[in-house]
Amino acid sequence: MQSMVNNNLYDIGVIACPGGVQFANEIISHLKSISALKLERQLQNLMKKYKLSREEVIQKMNFNRDLVSVYPKQNSMGKIVVPEYKVPVHFTHFANGEFKTELRKSVRDRDIYIVQDVANQYPIKFPDRKEKQVLSTNDHIFCLYVTIDAALQAGAKTITVVLPTYPYSRQHKKKGREGLTAARFGQILEYMGVERIITLDIHSREIENCFNHLRLENLHASYQITRELSRTINLRDENLAIVSPDTGAVDRNKFYAESLKKELALLYKERDYSKLTQDALDNNIANMNLLGKVAGKNVFMSDDMLGTGSTLLKALKLLRKKGAEKIICAVSLPFFTGKAIDHFEEAYAKKYFYRIIGTNAVYHDNSLLSREWYLCANVSRLFAKTIFRLHFDLSLSPLLDNRNIINKLLSADGK
């Protein structure tokens, strides 16, 4: 019996950096359920094809797996063994700020996926430190570097970095004497030996053009966001309009407008780039205008990220001034930096908006998740499916083109 497919399942290893523990755990949980389903389907097909009992097929599957394993699994007789996937790791954060990563299990000749949430701004507990530490984006990045190096030194066959948030993505083009840090970050990973990056809604697709061999898989949360939207309003509502918050988000919102068969309006902004936005009450927008009509309509507006939220808050106020009714916003990367959560709570009390839909690509605790106005779209299964399909050289098209499943969701919403 051919067992190559089964054995490949056990070649996957997932390493969670401190900032990405929560997201990695969810990915692993989904990987296990996907693998269990795959193994069960294969079991049923083999039983039917070779006219064997369930116990006989399981025995042969486990035998073939153990045959190529240096250390066969114990107590695996009579049941399908789903891989654990998680690689145990010990992280040290020294007093001088340095990090060290120690793998507690062999990863030799395995395909390793390292998960890191560089946007995690919540306190993290390290075993060797008494107090929890809040790490900066740069801290998370360097922790990722030492983890990649540890996996490579341990003989990993391939390294894929899973970054729900791609750091420095807004530094992708020059307006003056400034760096192209978004490209340099990926080039550093490529130089270290990383073969692929998996991320969500990268700020600029141009970044991918800066690599020689490294592959960047840019996932989209459009289906997950639309699913949350369908639980909030009727997607077939004739009174629903789609608004793009700026020219850079036109393609994203055009996708929603075409999928939901709604009109598309546009907010046009003029910025003063000499001014740096510090919080949600301050912004560098000199002027903002609306192209289109929203009076008496419910509005859905989507963007890739929310930082301090100053730009979005100004847009919400303008839309309400123009006569918009319920306003629902979606952001793939909900950073909510500084006091943004408090400012949006105040704006919600003033009825500037109805709901904000974010994703769990950025970790948040109940200080945000418990808010009445906030909805979280879970994208961890999307990442798990991507890892699974990439590992078996399957096409990602079903995951990247969400039109068909959104159409099914639209049909179900109309019943």
> What is the tens place of the pLDDT at every residue in 217-233?
999 999 999 999 999 99
Q: What is the pLDDT of residue 404?
A: 76
Show Cβ contacts of residue 201 under 8 Å, excluding neighbours closer than 6 positions: 218, 219, 220, 221, 304, 305, 332, 333
DSSP character for 86?
B
Q: What is the pLDDT of residue 3?
A: 39
Q: What is the pLDDT of residue 9?
A: 86
In the CATH hierarchy, which fold is given to the domain comprising 222-377+402-413?
Rossmann fold (3.40.50)
Query: DSSP per residue over 123-182, as a string?
Result: -B--TT-SS-BPPPHHHHHHHHHHHHHHHHHTT-SEEEEEESS-TTTT--S-SSS---HH
CB 334 within 8 A of CB 364: yes
Indicate the pLDDT class of residue 4, thresholds 50, 70 and 90.
very low
DSSP character for 80?
-
CB 263 within 8 A of CB 241: yes
Q: 192 - beta bridge partners?
A: none
User: Element (H or E) spanning 55, and its range?
Assistant: helix 54-67
> What is the tens place of the pLDDT at every residue in 85-113?
999 999 999 999 999 999 999 999 999 99
Q: What is the pLDDT of residue 359?
A: 98
The distance from CA 164 to its chain's CA centroid, rounded to whole angstroms, is: 4
Indicate the pLDDT class of residue 123, thresholds 50, 70 and 90.
very high
Q: What is the pLDDT of residue 178?
A: 86
Indicate the pLDDT class of residue 76, thresholds 50, 70 and 90.
low
Phi then psi for residue 203, to 5 deg, are: -60, -35
Top mean-pLDDT range of 139-143, 312-316, 390-394: 139-143
* pLDDT of 71 strictly over 80: no
Phi-psi bin for 363: left (phi > 0), alpha (psi -120 to 50), beta? beta
* pLDDT of 166 strictly over 80: yes
Q: State the CB neighbour count (10 A cutoff) for residue 22.
A: 18
Q: What is the pLDDT of residue 209?
A: 87
User: Element (H or E) spanning 20, and its range?
Assistant: none
| Residue among 163, 134, 166 at smallest CA distance from 305 | 166
Q: State the CB neighbour count (10 A cutoff) for residue 258.
A: 12
Predicted TM-score (pTM) above 0.85: yes
- Give the integer Cα–Cα distance in Å for 134 and 124: 6
Q: What is the pLDDT of residue 271?
A: 60
DSSP character for 108?
T
Phi then psi for residue 91, to 5 deg, are: -110, 140
Q: Tell me the pLDDT of the chain averaged across its residues.
A: 90
Show Cβ contacts of residue 179 under 8 Å, excluding neighbours closer than 6 positions: 171
- Give the integer Cα–Cα distance in Å for 316 and 267: 10
| Residue among 298, 292, 316, 297 at smallest CA distance from 306 | 316
* pLDDT of 214 strictly over 80: yes
The predicted model gives 401-414 an average pLDDT of 74
Show Cβ contacts of residue 8 under 8 Å, excluding neighbours closer than 6 positions: 391, 392
Q: What is the pLDDT of residue 122?
A: 96
User: Element (H or E) spanning 233, and its range?
Assistant: none
- What is Dmax (Cα atoms) for the chain? 74
- Give the integer Cα–Cα distance in Å for 250 and 291: 12
Indicate the pLDDT class of residue 2, thresholds 50, 70 and 90.
very low
Task: Considering only residues 347 and 58, tell me which one the structure prediction assigns the higher pLDDT.
Answer: 347
**How do the domains of the chain map onto residue ranges?**
222-377+402-413
> What is the tens place of the pLDDT at every residue in 266-286?
998 776 555 555 555 555 566
Q: What is the pLDDT of residue 1?
A: 35
The predicted model gives 289-303 an average pLDDT of 94
The predicted model gives 239-249 an average pLDDT of 92
Rounded to 5°, angle at Cα 372 from 230 and 119:
85
- Give the integer Cα–Cα distance in Å for 205 and 106: 36
* pLDDT of 354 strictly over 50: yes
Q: What is the pLDDT of residue 6?
A: 42
* pLDDT of 357 strictly over 50: yes
Q: Which of 148-152, 248-252, 352-356, 358-362 has the lowest mean pLDDT?
A: 248-252
Q: What is the pLDDT of residue 315?
A: 93
Q: What is the pLDDT of residue 77?
A: 60
